Amino acid sequence: MSLTARALLLDMDGTLVNSDAVVERYWRIWADEQGLDPEQVLKVVHGRQGHATMAALLPDRPVERNLADNRWMLERETTDLDGVVPVPGAAAFMAALAALPHALVTSADEALARARMGAAGLPMPEVRVTAERVGASKPDPEGFLKGAAELGFAPADCVVFEDSEAGIAAGRAAGMRVVGIGPRAGAHAPDAHVRDLEQVRIEALPDGTMRLHFSR
């Protein structure tokens, strides 16, 4: 199977970087403090900004408390990089993309994105849409639409790489095709689904487009 695109929009956590160990560590602490079942909380945390997840789990909780907890979590996750590793194939994937249009679109803020990409040994894309640059978290499509606009391409010309339900929904809402990465993505019917980035090959075409090849 293959897809063609003019630009790629890349999620970070679970797509380029495996940060599950850190994410789960701090969300378990938070869930215990709120009297929530950590296993149930972990089912919904991936792909969203932290305060948006908190609002979904505790809809009557004051926004200020969610924002404060979100700041606490970001501070700790930015300095705790134990267990942060690249998704298999990520280094070669990013190297193949170096001269092609692409952007990072992540629910992490700039500091956390730099910390995790650095810990994984991956280059930071020149174009990136981090948490500070959007008014609404995934599954809202704002981040992907901003990424496409900065690269100068229409949504239909872009392909999103995502691992989470919220991220896949955001890509679809933006009018883009979506490649699902890893086990979480398979249940949400992306246009293509791969185990990891080792199953993706990028072919640059003479007309400036790229063809994405997916292996099993």
Q: What is the dihedral of CA 160, 101, 122, 138, to 10 degrees?
A: -30
Between CA 78 and CA 70 the distance in angstroms is 12
Residues marked as catalytic? 11, 13
Residue 214 tokens, joined: 């997916």
- Cα→Cα distances 19→85, 141, 160, 166, Å: 7, 23, 19, 17
- Cα→Cα distances 184→23, 169, 180, 189, 209, Å: 15, 13, 8, 11, 29
Provide the pairing of β-strand 200-204 with 210-214. antiparallel
